Amino acid sequence: MIAHPRAPAVVVVLLAFVASPTSLLKRLLLGRPFRSDRLQHTLLPKRIALPVFASDALSSVAYAPDEILLTLSIAGASAYFFSPWIALAVVVVMLTVVASYRQNVHAYPSGGGDYEVATVNLGPKFGVGVASALLVDYVLTVAVSVSSGVANLGSVVPFVATHKVLIAVSAVVLLSAVNLRGLRESGTAFAIPTYGFVIVMGGMLLTGLFRVFVLGDDLRAPSADLVIQAEHSVTGFALIFLLLRTFSSGAAALTGVEAISNGVPAFKAPKSRNAATTLLLLGSISVSMLVGIIWLARLTHLQFVEDPSLQIVSGPEGYVQKTVTTQLGETVFGSGSILLYVVAGMTALILFLAANTAFNGFPVLGSILAQDRYLPRQFHTRGDRLAFSNGIVFLAVFAIVLIVGFQAEVTRLIQLYIVGVFVSFTVSQAGMIRHWNRHLRTERDPEARRRMHRSRAINTFGAGLTGTVLVIVLITKFLLGAWIAIAAMAVIYVLMLGIRRHYDRIAVELTPPDEGRAVLPARNHAIVLVSKLHQPTLRAIAYARATRPDTLTAVTVNVDETDTRDLQAEWERREMAIPLTVIDSPYREITRPILDFVATARRKSPRDVVTVFIPEYVVGRWWENLLHNQSALRLKGRLLFEPGVMVVSVPWQLASTASKNLDRLDATLSRTPARGPRPSVPPLVSTPTGEGDQGDSTTTGSTRD
């Protein structure tokens, strides 16, 4: 192309973008942002999905045995006889839940999990109830897992034991940062420690059982020779109640199973089959470790009590009770052994990372709920790294509140736990029964019907069993703290229904009519607000005239007689083309007189509209806003509530805006880094005085100084 000889030369200047310290810190912690088309690269294979979604269920074997033994200790050391049977009951429930959820992921692979199953089959209110239970349970998962990790690490590191709240909060913050980097990155970061925990625990259990049954060693835990007294005499019905309470505490091992059904979209194809396989692996590994720990604890005569200061009658001087896994590590590998520290460290690490299950499940569920208009829409948007950033931050904040409020005490937090997850288990399985019944009414293929009958039988047994466990949990844990979780679920349930009603009401208001076109206004009355006759006012008048309204007038409020007379004199001297209306204000108020004038102009005809032009100047420095009043902002905010009134801001950029870093402002407003230098924008509106734009508006200030 040949340039015209008179065409103005175009000079392209490439400017280097200098990121702000905040932007640099964000990029350092979270990494570079991902394009939306990179979403498929964050999908997980089974080897990564297992540690991402199953770390919670795998890690529960680190505190579920503790809860079983300490609850039984209320009846004395003899009650430990029931621990294998309690563990066996927990195993039966876990295998049932795993088998049931394998049906779920095949039937509902979209990632809605229990929420989708309940909504589709039982109705929206059941779905919201399940969602509220899961949201509470996810928060508790983070608080319990991290607090338990601190307790295990504190067993070998005294500093951690004395600063457990600080360490727990720091762990939650670190987990949030890792998850904000994106799903695949968090999965890779957690794969090695999760598999390391499985290997270390498996090695400890196999070594201990080998020494007992093959080498014939008499292994005795550090607490084996302690003399323990019962807190209460437990017989008859009290013993049954204690066993039920122990079972409900041990059932914490089931938490996290539902996360896979919520995270099916994160799996690589075939999604349902990979999710079902991961569920089976999760159940097999968890059951093996839970049974192994309880078995080895019985073989080594390990004792773990609820209140050592009261229950331990005689023991070593300065005895400090260690967690079950730490005691087993010391028994198998020896006190002071490097392998003991490996066991304690890996147990603490997996418990910290177990919270990652919630960090992956909570944001996805929040996004689905936001899409269905039960949560604010901000939960549905992805951040720079294609993670649901708002959900991650929300989860972290509330988990920290619980950790601080309960001082990172696992025994206190565990009482709030598992109520929500068994609510979702039970309702979900009831929904699956209705799902299979509905499909059986239309399915004619014999082989498909056999599969459906088998799946329905599994879900029916699962619903009955998890419903029974839920009743046991409510009876045994209600007064111990479960009522707090139930109250939180109720509050979230009501809140989500309220949000949905709000969005539905707004949608109805904004829906255009089916027939007929929008009624055009009969006339447009334009009003330009004037305080002084300066360049911002001239620009506003010029722009108002360019819109060609039916009537046009300038309005000023008389709050000072001298200023008003000077304005009128200047108006006449310049021979302005439009009239100036002066509104008297005896009490020096600005907003109310203008509102009354606008209302009067519109009352003449309901089909008329009034367009109010407000000249404003734009300052470039934050402190300049402190030197000018904000009457324009107040006027705009109030005029927006007036029906039939349009508000137009006409900006005038002051010289200080030339130094404003607009690239940094763009990055801040869009939460993404600027892609290149900001081009200069030519003025769109010419004015009588010939002024031009100097930049985009940032912070507005009134022309009334």
Closest listed residue to residue 384, CA positions, set 4, 672, 651, 653 = 672
Whether residue 270 is preceded by a cis peptide bond, meaning omega within 30 degrees of 0, is: yes
- Give residue 293's pLDDT band: very low, low, confident or very high (50, 70, 90): very high
Q: Tens digits of per-residue pLDDT, 395-418?
A: 889 999 989 988 888 778 877 877
Collapsing DSSP states into helix, strand and coil, what is residue 313? strand
The DSSP call for residue 218 is: -
Two tokens at 127?
Answer: 């779905």
Task: Looking at the structure, tell me whether residues 387 and 323 fall in a common domain.
Answer: yes
Q: Measured between alpha carbons, how far is 396 from 401 in angstroms, rounded to an integer? A: 9
Collapsing DSSP states into helix, strand and coil, what is residue 585? coil
- Give residue 627's pLDDT band: very low, low, confident or very high (50, 70, 90): low
Q: Residue 525 is which amino acid?
A: H
Per residue in 450-459, is it b (16+ CB within 10 Å) or e — as a string? eebeebbebb
Question: Out of 110-114, 427-431, 453-457, 491-495, which region has the weakest mean confidence (pLDDT)?
Answer: 110-114
- Give residue 318's pLDDT band: very low, low, confident or very high (50, 70, 90): low
Task: Looking at the structure, tell me whether residues 165 and 215 fall in a common domain.
Answer: yes
Q: Measured between alpha carbons, how far is 208 from 220 in angstroms, rounded to an integer? A: 11
Task: Looking at the structure, tell me whether residues 420 and 561 fall in a common domain.
Answer: no
DSSP character string of 18-47: ---HHHHHHHHHH-SPPPGGGGGGG-B-HH
| 665 assigned to some structural domain | no
CA distances in angstroms from 494 to 112, 524, 550, 615, listed in the order given:
20, 45, 50, 45
Structural domains in the chain (count): 2
Give the number of other CB atoms < 10 A from CB of residue 680. 9
Q: Tens digits of per-residue pLDDT, 128-169?
A: 998 898 889 888 888 888 888 888 788 777 788 788 889 889
Task: Looking at the structure, tell me whether residues 365 and 410 fall in a common domain.
Answer: yes
Sorted by sequence, the CB contacts under 8 Å of residue 334 that are 6+ apart come out as: 340
Question: Out of 118-127, 274-283, 477-486, 616-625, which region has the weakest mean confidence (pLDDT)?
Answer: 616-625
What mean pLDDT, rounded, does the chain reach? 79
Q: Is the pLDDT of residue 612 over 90?
A: yes
Task: Specify which of 57-71, 219-233, 575-589 reaches the highest per-range mean pLDDT.
Answer: 575-589
Q: Over range 436-450, report the average pLDDT.
A: 88
pLDDT of residue 689: 36
Closest listed residue to residue 432, CA positions, set 93, 92, 108, 96 = 108
Task: Looking at the structure, tell me whether residues 582 and 462 fall in a common domain.
Answer: no
Q: Is the pLDDT of residue 363 over 80?
A: yes
Give the number of other CB atoms < 10 A from CB of residue 57. 26
* CA terminus-to-terminus distance, the chain: 53
pLDDT of residue 64: 84
pLDDT of residue 128: 92
| 391 assigned to some structural domain | yes
Question: Out of 190-194, 554-558, 668-672, which region has the weakest mean confidence (pLDDT)?
Answer: 668-672
Task: Looking at the structure, tell me whether residues 486 and 531 fall in a common domain.
Answer: no
pLDDT of residue 209: 93
| 694 assigned to some structural domain | no
Task: Looking at the structure, tell me whether residues 286 and 326 fall in a common domain.
Answer: yes
Task: Looking at the structure, tell me whether residues 541 and 404 fall in a common domain.
Answer: no
Q: How would you class 50 by CB atoms within 10 Å of its CB: exposed for 0-12, middle for 13-18, buried for 19 or more?
A: buried
Q: Is 408 left (phi over 0), alpha (psi -120 to 50) or beta?
A: left
Higher per-residue confidence, 255 vs 38: 255
CA distances in angstroms from 316 to 87, 222, 319, 510, listed in the order given:
30, 10, 5, 74
CATH code of 303's domain:
1.20.1740.10
Higher per-residue confidence, 491 vs 377: 491
Domain hosting residue 534, numbered range: 523-659
Is the CB of residue 246 less than 8 Å from the CB of residue 68? Answer: yes
Q: Over range 553-571, report the average pLDDT.
A: 90
Collapsing DSSP states into helix, strand and coil, what is residue 232? coil
Q: Measured between alpha carbons, how far is 521 from 518 in angstroms, rounded to an integer? A: 9
| 672 assigned to some structural domain | no
Q: Is the pLDDT of residue 602 over 90?
A: no
Two tokens at 342?
Answer: 């490996």
Task: Looking at the structure, tell me whether residues 483 and 595 fall in a common domain.
Answer: no
Long-range contacts of 197-202 (CB under 8 A, 24+ apart): 197/58, 197/59, 197/346, 197/347, 197/349, 197/350, 198/58, 198/285, 198/289, 200/342, 200/343, 200/346, 200/347, 201/61, 201/289, 201/292, 201/293, 201/325, 201/343, 201/346, 201/347, 202/288, 202/289, 202/292
Write out the H or E segment, with its range, that includes residue 99: helix 83-107
* Chain centre distance of CA 43: 20
Q: Tens digits of per-residue pLDDT, 82-102?
A: 989 999 999 998 888 888 888
pLDDT of residue 679: 44
Is the CB of residue 253 less than 8 Å from the CB of residue 286? Answer: yes
Two tokens at 705?
Answer: 């100084």
pLDDT of residue 187: 57
| 701 assigned to some structural domain | no
> How much is the pTM?
0.70
| 516 assigned to some structural domain | no
- Give residue 41's pLDDT band: very low, low, confident or very high (50, 70, 90): very low
Q: Tens digits of per-residue pLDDT, 164-176?
A: 889 889 888 888 8
Alpha-carbon torsion, ordered 379, 383, 386, 390, to 10 deg: -30
Task: Looking at the structure, tell me whether residues 281 and 144 fall in a common domain.
Answer: yes
Q: Measured between alpha carbons, how far is 257 from 275 in angstroms, rounded to an integer? A: 11
| 50 assigned to some structural domain | yes
Q: Over range 176-193, report the average pLDDT.
A: 67
Q: Tens digits of per-residue pLDDT, 3-34?
A: 444 444 444 433 334 444 444 444 444 555 54
Task: Looking at the structure, tell me whether residues 477 and 610 fall in a common domain.
Answer: no
| Radius of gyration of the chain measured on its C-alpha atoms | 34
Two tokens at 32?
Answer: 């570079």
Is the CB of residue 452 less than 8 Å from the CB of residue 439? Answer: yes
CATH code of 651's domain:
3.40.50
* Main-chain dihedrals φ then ψ at residue 109, nearest 5 degrees: -85, 5
Task: Looking at the structure, tell me whether residues 401 and 457 fall in a common domain.
Answer: yes
| 63 assigned to some structural domain | yes
pLDDT of residue 691: 36
- The percentage of the chain sitting over the pLDDT mark of 70, rounded to a whole number, equals 81
- Give residue 662's pLDDT band: very low, low, confident or very high (50, 70, 90): low
Using the Cα atoms of residue 659, residue 663, residue 669 and residue 673 in order, give the sign of their dihedral.
negative
pLDDT of residue 579: 92
